[in-house]
Copies of this chain bind each other. A is one copy, B any other.
Amino acid sequence: MSISSRFAVGIHILALIDLNKETASSSEFIAGSVNTNAAVIRKIMGMLKKAGLIEVQPGVAGAKLSRELSEITLFDIYKAVNVVEENELFSIHDKPHPDCVVGKNIQSTIEPIFMAAQSAMEKVFQNLTLEDIVKDIEAKESVQ
């Protein structure tokens, strides 16, 4: 099991749009950097657009960020690309036997724990922004 790479690609796309501001980042160009098909990029960019993170116009090459780098958290991207449903990171077997002490109670016992675990994970993304990503990339670049 693994969470879709749409999330990583989404971060890649947004960072690239910013670091490549001077020229238009077409889906073809981004696809070259990500190393995938342009249609895949357009699909993910569609999600980012729908979430209000970027502005794109049909027919015109490129996209721009809707907000400041520091105003876009990784959690925003995570939600935009829809890689994990709300409180459904962990699946629970359904219809455990209601006549059994464990079967009757296991779901309500486990659910809040799974929710807490998912929240702990998501909080990491809430505390990081695209600015952190871009600055980290720039720092690595300046060293080389």
Cβ of A83 within 8 Å of any chain B Cβ, yes or no, is: yes
Chain A positions near chain B (C-beta within 8 angstroms): 1-5, 7-9, 11-12, 15-16, 19-20, 32-36, 74, 83-85, 88-97, 100-103, 105-106, 108-110, 113-114, 116-118, 120-125, 128, 133, 136-137, 140-141
Interface of A is mostly: helix
Given A8-B90, A88-B2, A95-B35: A136 and B121 within 8 A (CB)?
no
Determine whether the beta carbon of B105 is less than 8 Å from that of A140.
yes
Determine whether the beta carbon of A35 is less than 8 Å from that of B93.
yes
> B8, B90, B92, B101: which contacts A141 (Cβ < 8 A)?
B101
